[in-house]
């Protein structure tokens, strides 16, 4: 045990130097943001109507998008983890495409499909009078599109790590599939659902590309915090820094709260 600890404690210089450089590369820009923050006017900036409206809209839209991801993503994760489907690997790849797809491309895809001339959007408009692009609902759809893979991957991993013998025992005792899922499966994967939900919400909160492409940038209706940062860079840099600080704090809190969960998952 002592030898193993010594081996782990050795830090070769050839690895230590680039490791410190990479750490500085990631931390220094964030430290610069904190240093340049207008601390003297920070309270008044946070209470300004523009910042408050963008913050309120971001929180509401991110929360609604997370609800959509929960309702649709948990069943999808169950199908990927437990379903006996041909081409399940292809299906999983399609689910994770938004993780690597540029968000702007996702916004264009949503616009082409859900726009008034799209294969789905034209019927939503003619049958129900619903137009999603360039609306607050469009913001929610765009955020859900880019954030859902985070929830699905987390829940699927939790399902795969769950011992199926408990579910088999419940079925042997006469429990229905729905009762087994509700009373046995869900409690066992609850940590994975919580972790996926938080990651999903944080990703939705910080979404920019798909939102501005599909929902546009209309103050009070579709201007979320990332979009407000983009606008404020030219007109009011202090407001841009304040909004960036808010997003940075949220990100740090989310990652810190999930750190123990990740450590348990890889140990």
Angle at 132 between CA 207 and CA 213, to 5 degrees: 40
- Specify if 97 maps to a domain: yes
Q: How far apart are CA 202 and CA 125, in angstroms?
A: 31
Look over the chain and give the mean of its residue pLDDT values, rounded to a whole number: 84
- Specify if 83 maps to a domain: yes
Count of structural domains, the chain: 1
Those residues whose C-beta lies under 8 Å from the C-beta of residue 143, and which sit 6 or more positions away, are: 61, 62, 65, 203, 204, 205, 207, 210, 211
The per-residue pLDDT for range 107-129, each reduced to its tens digit, is 999 999 998 888 998 998 888 88
Q: How far apart are CA 135 and CA 61, in angstroms?
A: 11
The per-residue pLDDT for range 228-265, each reduced to its tens digit, is 888 888 777 887 888 888 888 887 887 777 665 544 54
- Are the C-beta atoms of residues 124 and 147 closer than 8 Å to each other? no
- Residue ranges making up the domain that contains 93: 46-265
213 has a pLDDT exceeding 90: yes
Looking at residue 113, what is its pLDDT? 93
- Specify if 25 maps to a domain: no
The per-residue pLDDT for range 40-71, each reduced to its tens digit, is 777 777 777 777 888 889 999 999 999 999 99
CATH number of the CATH domain containing 60: 1.10.3720.10
pTM for the complete prediction? 0.82
- Specify if 52 maps to a domain: yes
267 has a pLDDT exceeding 70: no
Q: How far apart are CA 120 and CA 248, in angstroms?
A: 37
- Specify if 16 maps to a domain: no
- Specify if 212 maps to a domain: yes
């Amino acid at each position: 045990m002592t030898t193993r600890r010594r081996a782990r404690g050795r830090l070769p210089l050839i690895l230590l130097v680039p490791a410190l450089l990479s750490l500085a590369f990631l931390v220094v820009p964030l430290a610069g943001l904190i240093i340049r923050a207008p601390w003297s006017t920070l309270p008044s900036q946070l209470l300004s109507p523009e910042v408050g409206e963008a913050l309120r809209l971001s929180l509401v839209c991110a929360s609604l998008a997370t609800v959509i991801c929960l309702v649709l993503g948990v069943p999808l994760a169950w199908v990927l983890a437990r379903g006996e489907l041909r081409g399940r690997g292809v299906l999983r790849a399609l689910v994770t495409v938004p993780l690597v797809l540029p968000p702007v491309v996702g916004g264009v895809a949503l616009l082409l499909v859900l726009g008034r001339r799209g294969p789905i959007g034209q019927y939503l408009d003619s049958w129900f009078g619903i137009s999603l692009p360039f609306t607050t609902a469009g913001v929610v759809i765009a955020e859900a599109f880019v954030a859902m893979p985070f929830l699905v991957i987390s829940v699927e991993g939790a399902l795969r790590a769950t011992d199926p013998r408990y579910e088999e025992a419940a079925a042997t005792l006469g429990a229905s599939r729905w009762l087994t899922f509700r009373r046995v499966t869900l409690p066992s994967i609850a940590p994975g659902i919580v972790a996926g939900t938080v990651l999903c919400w944080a990703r939705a909160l910080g979404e920019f590309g798909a939102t501005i492409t599909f929902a546009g940038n209309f103050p009070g209706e579709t201007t979320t915090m990332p979009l407000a940062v983009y606008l404020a860079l030219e007109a009011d840099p202090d407001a841009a820094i304040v909004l960036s600080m808010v997003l940075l704090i949220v990100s740090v809190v989310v990652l810190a709260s999930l750190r123990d969960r990740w450590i348990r998952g890889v140990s």
